[in-house]
A and B are shown apart, each in its own frame.
Chain A
């Protein structure tokens, strides 16, 4: 991996900060207390589930992931299942991070 450059950082940071500010501030000033259209609210409500699922899938799934044998690709999947259990039980980001790293380290050492 190439470390991120200042230029790369500025582009990502400035654009993301601007879109974030617009999303945070504009509805409050433009709507002036009116509600968002129900269809829009509904669609916005689906975004977190879809986006986090896409991020997880991007990390865990690859076409041809089992080409190097079953275990190298299955180990992260098993560790991910362990994280799902911890998430259901604790709902804590920190515990999920710790459990995930521990499970992953253990399973890849086997």
Chain B
């Protein structure tokens, strides 16, 4: 809960740094609602990525929501379609953790879980919009704003599970981005690099299966 405010305000400030206004940020929080995605858009815009590349990269990162959606499916059996829709449409990384725990403990309903989701989303939306207003009031140098986003991505990277396949994914993605830039593909570098990382990790875990 406090986490949403602590990160929503900087997210709003950084969104303002690329010229997004309060209404645009409100729409993103209400209908897109993705912490990582809402940091990626200003970050990639600042690094002059083409729009197609921004969309591809952000959507690629979004696909992890499919894991959450599939994991909740058994709990949503027998629930009305409309409620199941609202519930699944408002799941995020943080509320996924909370709701999974509550469902496993029992005595938890989809309706209550949806309320948790909507409560999280409201605090995220409110703090992002406040962030935009703060960002408009103070003038933050772009280099500083950009490095704040880099720092947040470093944190998201470092707090992933530290398995050998994940390390392979990360290292290959970094090398992939560098090679893309080297051969002049700086536009789609992030998207291609991430795909290279995932493919290398899959190959790595296949080889390991065969060897063991």
Q: Which A residues are within 8 Å of any B CB, using their own CB? A: 1, 3-4, 8-9, 11-13, 15-17, 19-21, 23-29, 31-36, 41-63, 76, 79-80, 83-84, 86-88, 91-94, 96-97, 99-101, 104-105, 108
Given A49-B160, A56-B150, A93-B155, do A33 and B77 touch, yes or no (CB 8 Å)?
yes
Partner of B173, one of A43, A57, A104: A57
The chain B residue with its CB closest to the CB of A85 is B158
**Which of A43, A84, A93 has the most CB atoms of chain B within a 10 A radius of its CB?**
A93
**A97 neighbours in B (Cβ, 8 Å):** 10, 148, 151-152, 155
Complex-state Cα separation, A55 to B166, whole angstroms: 15
**B149 neighbours in A (Cβ, 8 Å):** 59
Give chain A nearest CB distance to B113 CB in angstroms: 12
Asked if B58 CB lies within 8 Å of chain A CBs, one says: yes
Beyond A11-B55, A48-B156, A49-B167, 6 additional contacts (C-beta under 8 Å) are A1-B46, A3-B18, A50-B170, A50-B195, A53-B173, A96-B154
B157 & A53 in contact (Cβ 8 Å cutoff): yes
* Number of residues on chain B facing chain A (CB within 8 A): 96
Give chain A nearest CB distance to B25 CB in angstroms: 10
Q: Which B residues are within 8 Å of any A CB, using their own CB? A: 3, 6-7, 10, 18-20, 24, 27-28, 31-34, 36-37, 40-41, 43, 45-48, 51, 54-55, 57-70, 72-74, 76-77, 81, 84-85, 88-91, 142-144, 146-160, 165-167, 169-174, 176-178, 181-182, 189-191, 193-198, 201-202, 205
Complex-state Cα separation, A23 to B88, whole angstroms: 9
Partner of A50, one of B37, B51, B172: B172
* Closest 3 pairs (CB-CB, A-B): A100-B151, A3-B19, A50-B197
A58 & B160 in contact (Cβ 8 Å cutoff): no
**B155 neighbours in A (Cβ, 8 Å):** 83, 86-87, 91-93, 96-97
B190 & A58 in contact (Cβ 8 Å cutoff): yes
A53 & B142 in contact (Cβ 8 Å cutoff): no
Give chain A nearest CB distance to B169 CB in angstroms: 4
**A55 neighbours in B (Cβ, 8 Å):** 40, 43, 150, 153, 190
B157 & A52 in contact (Cβ 8 Å cutoff): yes
Given A58-B47, A93-B155, do A50 and B34 touch, yes or no (CB 8 Å)?
no
- Count how many pairs of residues, one from A and one from B, have CB atoms less than 8 Å apart in the complex: 274
Partner of B74, one of A33, A76, A93: A33
Partner of B37, one of A3, A16, A26: A16
Give chain A nearest CB distance to B174 CB in angstroms: 4
**Which of A23, A34, A56 has the most CB atoms of chain B within a 10 A radius of its CB?**
A56
A93 & B197 in contact (Cβ 8 Å cutoff): no
Complex-state Cα separation, A45 to B69, whole angstroms: 14
The chain A residue with its CB closest to the CB of B149 is A59
A52 & B160 in contact (Cβ 8 Å cutoff): yes
Complex-state Cα separation, A34 to B59, whole angstroms: 24
Given A1-B46, A12-B55, A16-B55, do A58 and B189 touch, yes or no (CB 8 Å)?
yes
